[in-house]
Amino acid sequence: MFQDIRGLVLSGATAASLPHYEKAVHELNLFAGDPVATVDKALTENPDFVMAHALRAWLHLIGTEPAGLPAARTALAAAQRLPGTEREQAHLAAISHLIEGRWALASHVLEDITIEYPHDLLALQVGQQTDFFRGDSRMLRDRIARAIPMWSADVPGYHVVLGMQAFGLEESGDYAAAERAGRRAIDIEPRDCWAQHAVAHVMEMQCRPREGIAWMQKNAEGWSRDSFLAVHNWWHVALYHLELGEIDEALALFDGPVYGSHSRVILDMVDASAMLWRLQLRGIDVGERWQPLVEAWELVDAGKYAFNDVHAVLAFVGAGRTDLVQRVLEAQDAAMAASGDNATFTREVGRPVVLALKAFSNGCYAECVRLLRPVRNSAHRFGGSHAQRDLLDLTLIEAALRDGQPGLASALAAERAAVRPLSPLARLFLVRAAELEPAA
């Protein structure tokens, strides 16, 4: 039997198919190129290649695209007809769980794979993605911590593990260690855009926007060329400018690399919705920029993943499309009545957030505050990163300010200033909250 470059047995691999598989895994590691097209070449060479089918399924699942589910099911069915090793069968079991919406079970199976096979880089990477989409910061860190003692610079793909370690450490609040790991990964492989992104998160959470802009500009060719994480990394650059109050720069990035192409990729649409909402919260007139996003989100079946539903609703309320907000609410009703983990994601976080956004858009700021306060500290349960979920805090603060709640607004502003003492936006919130206080 053939083995991959880290010594794992690959059932059905051949001399002709193996290089295409290795290249596809590498493209996924870098979030670059077209790994689906590349793995299809491996399957053309040999349709009995079990892990090539598994990789194809993973590629259609980790983007949370509802349209990817049929392709993932087809790939899984093809692989299940073939004999495979215990490790390969475990991959198929995890894929089956994720197709059926059992995120926690998929994560658990992937844990067991990498405990037994710590050099299974694909299992580590898709495992961390399931942690991310579930908002499980502990597993984002610990999944990698378990495996990394078995890795070194001599093992191909070491930079990928360092980049994942960096992101897990950042989401767990260990910013110094995260930055060290991410920078080391980039030193090894400048095109590792996940590692680049992990350090960008550190600088966002520590409110180091000038350093963040410099960090991203220094290696822009590395992380943006032919990368399907480029939009998200440009979004981080726009966030830095927004923090600094550099609105023209943020809008230029939105109109350019963030959403100038009017992408129909859900992860890109999430970033676009989040950026426009942040701008609108700042009182910026975004003009007709919501419309292409509304058209894109309108084509997506709601109720499949609560985090995406919330970002669709940002676009719908931003554009005043109450009819489409209602469509999402109806889809959420169905999601909460169904099986699978998204029922919980929706019930605990997605539904109250959508109702809060609807209330905000209707000027019912007290209702928005009432709905957001109970969920913001548990919002990790529906996925995303701390930087992405910060949108909920920003909305809550703005709602408290607009509703004229001086006590709560001052408390929330002080809370933000405590963790971002150099933040221009945090200082602005403090000033606005103070202006609500009645004169002595």
Buried b (16+ CB within 10 A) or exposed e, 195-208: bbbbbbbbbbbbbb
CA distances from residue 249 to 107, 234, 244 in whole angstroms, order as listed: 39, 12, 10
DSSP 312-338: HHHHHHHTT-HHHHHHHHHHHHHHHHS
What pLDDT sits at residue 110? 98
Token representation of residue 284 = 């910026």
Q: Across-strand partners of 9?
A: 3
CA dist 317 and 69 (Å) reads 28
Residue with tokens 């110094």, as numbered in its chain: 176
- Residues 189, 194, 196, 202: is their CA dihedral positive or negative? negative
Report domain 1-134's class: mainly alpha
CA dist 165 and 145 (Å) reads 7
Domain ranges of the chain: 1-134, 136-228, 245-403
* Burial of 426 from C-beta contacts in 10 A (0-12 / 13-18 / 19+): buried
Buried b (16+ CB within 10 A) or exposed e, 331-344: bbeebbeeebbbbb
- Within 13 Å and on the Cβ side, how many CA atoms surround 400? 27
Residue with tokens 């996003």, as numbered in its chain: 293
Answer for the pair 293, 273: CB distance below 8 angstroms, yes or no: yes
Buried b (16+ CB within 10 A) or exposed e, 265-275: ebbbbbbbbbb
Question: What region, left, alpha or beta, does residue 246 occupy, with left being phi > 0 and alpha being psi -120 to 50 degrees?
Answer: beta
Per-residue pLDDT in tens (0 to 9) along the chain, 440 residues: 899 999 999 999 999 999 999 999 999 999 999 999 999 999 999 999 999 999 999 999 999 999 999 999 999 999 999 999 999 999 999 999 999 999 999 999 999 999 999 999 999 999 999 999 998 989 999 999 999 999 999 999 999 999 999 999 999 999 999 999 999 999 999 999 999 999 999 999 999 999 999 999 999 999 999 999 999 999 999 999 999 999 999 999 999 999 999 999 999 999 999 999 999 999 999 999 999 999 999 999 999 999 999 999 999 999 999 999 999 999 999 999 999 999 999 999 999 999 999 999 999 999 999 999 999 999 999 999 999 999 999 999 999 999 999 999 999 999 999 999 999 999 999 999 999 977 55
Chain centroid offset of residue 439 CA: 45
> Domain 136-228 is of which CATH architecture?
Alpha Horseshoe (1.25)
- The DSSP code for 3 is E
What pLDDT sits at residue 183? 98
Domains 1-134 and 136-228 fall in the same CATH topology: yes
How many residues does this entry show for the chain?
440
What pLDDT sits at residue 440? 53
Residue 361 φ/ψ, nearest 5 degrees = -65, -25
